[in-house]
């Protein structure tokens, strides 16, 4: 494919404790439904007022591909995700940008070259218009992130792995890291509402899934949910519906301990309820998981 979602990798010069898995739990939620769309957000900017001030999606392209082919492939392959993200941004009255850069950029590239395509999608008559775009370099991308965030970080935590080399570069070389992502969301088409925010937790050890819980490895586990609470509250005000926050623990191996997945509903730093489900087959959508989440919403 000439355009694709970049996959997780170890950042250059870094080491990780566990091998990066190529398995992707988001595929379980890619159910073909007339009423709902599952999608992900590759980055959302939080400003100094703790407001959402930018929504990002990122893709990579094969060098030599023309812009016409890139845009055509983008709309054909990722149209539902883009439409859901554009609607999400519209509900929150914030910016939405799509960034497309060469495969593995900026490794083996000149970061001053304008090789990043920055697109401002617009919804027109229930379709997506991608005609507003420009070519930028790494410096311009970094400056744009700083402008939307409203500040730079004096210290950025070293990033060991990421879903792109761009994220590795920004975190490990600048004070303007790529914003945090959302693993999955579920969008209700008919009512133009996002009804679920989903955080996946990868479990690598041969220990029971049931023993995994938020806070097991320190209070910092709970801190990452603060931005989700802010987002949840902003969505409730904007769309008159409060989405559920799900924490889904899944195992990567063929261990007996990994045969189930654990689904927690999170509310105000507490586990509201817990459900278990047989782990769906990897690489396939799961109506059972999708329908369970809808039921719990």
CA 172 to chain centre: 20
Angle at 87 between CA 275 and CA 22, to 5 degrees: 50
What pLDDT, on the 0 to 100 scale, is given for residue 50?
87
Q: Nearest 5°: phi and psi at 30?
A: -80, 70
- pLDDT tens sequence for the chain (297 residues): 799 999 999 999 999 998 999 999 999 999 878 899 999 999 999 998 889 999 999 999 999 999 999 999 999 999 999 999 999 999 999 999 999 999 999 999 999 999 999 999 998 888 899 999 999 999 999 999 999 999 999 999 899 999 999 999 999 999 999 999 999 999 999 999 999 999 999 999 999 999 998 888 767 778 778 889 999 999 999 999 999 999 999 999 999 999 999 999 999 889 999 999 999 999 999 999 999 999 999
Domain boundaries defined on the chain: 43-173, 182-296
Exposed, middle or buried: residue 275 (CB in 10 Å: 0-12, 13-18, 19+)?
middle
Q: Which tens digits make up the pLDDT trace of 223-234?
A: 778 889 999 999
Strands 270-278 and 260-267: antiparallel
What pLDDT, on the 0 to 100 scale, is given for residue 284?
96
What pLDDT, on the 0 to 100 scale, is given for residue 291?
96
What pLDDT, on the 0 to 100 scale, is given for residue 161?
97
- 8 A C-beta contact, residue 229 and residue 270: no
Angle at 165 between CA 159 and CA 170, to 5 degrees: 55
Strands of the chain (E only): list them.
3-4, 9-10, 36-41, 43-46, 52-61, 96-102, 116-119, 122-124, 127-129, 133-136, 161-162, 182-188, 193-203, 244-251, 260-267, 270-278
What pLDDT, on the 0 to 100 scale, is given for residue 125?
83
Please indicate, yes or no, whether the overall pTM of this predicted structure exceeds 0.85.
yes
What pLDDT, on the 0 to 100 scale, is given for residue 220?
72
Strand partners, 68: none
Q: Which residues of 56-94 are buried (b: 16+ CB within 10 A; e: fewer)?
A: bbbbbbeeeeeeeebbebbbebbebbbbbbbbbbebbeb
Strands 52-61 and 3-4: antiparallel
Q: Which tens digits make up the pLDDT trace of 124-168?
A: 888 899 999 999 999 999 999 999 999 999 999 899 999 999 999
What pLDDT, on the 0 to 100 scale, is given for residue 277?
98
Cβ-based neighbour number of residue 220 at 10 Å:
8
């Amino acid at each position: 494919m000439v355009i694709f979602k970049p996959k997780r990798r170890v950042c250059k010069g870094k080491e990780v404790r566990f091998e990066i898995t190529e398995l992707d739990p988001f595929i379980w939620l890619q159910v073909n439904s007339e009423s709902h769309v599952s999608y992900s957000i590759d980055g959302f900017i939080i400003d100094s007022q703790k407001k959402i001030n930018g929504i990002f999606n990122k893709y990579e392209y094969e060098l030599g591909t023309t812009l016409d082919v890139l845009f055509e492939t983008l709309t054909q392959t990722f149209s539902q995700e883009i439409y859901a993200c554009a609607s999400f941004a519209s509900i929150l009255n914030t910016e939405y940008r799509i960034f497309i850069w060469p495969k593995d950029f900026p490794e083996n590239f000149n970061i001053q070259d304008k090789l990043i395509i920055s697109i401002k999608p617009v919804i027109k008559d229930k379709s997506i218009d991608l005609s507003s775009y420009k070519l930028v370099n790494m410096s311009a991308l970094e400056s744009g992130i700083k402008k939307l965030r409203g500040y730079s970080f004096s210290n950025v935590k070293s990033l060991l792995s990421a879903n792109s080399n761009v994220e590795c570069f920004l975190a490990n070389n600048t004070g303007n890291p790529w914003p945090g992502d959302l693993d999955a969301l579920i969008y209700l088409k008919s009512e133009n509402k996002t009804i679920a925010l989903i955080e996946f937790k990868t479990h690598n050890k041969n220990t029971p899934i049931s023993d995994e819980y938020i806070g097991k490895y320190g209070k910092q586990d709970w801190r990452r949910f603060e931005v989700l609470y802010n987002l949840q509250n902003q969505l409730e005000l904007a769309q008159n519906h409060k989405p559920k926050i799900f924490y889904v623990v899944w195992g990567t191996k063929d261990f007996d301990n990994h045969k189930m997945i654990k689904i927690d509903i999170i509310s105000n730093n507490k586990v509201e309820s817990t459900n278990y489900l047989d782990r769906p087959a990897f690489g396939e959508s799961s109506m059972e998981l999708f329908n369970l989440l809808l039921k719990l919403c």
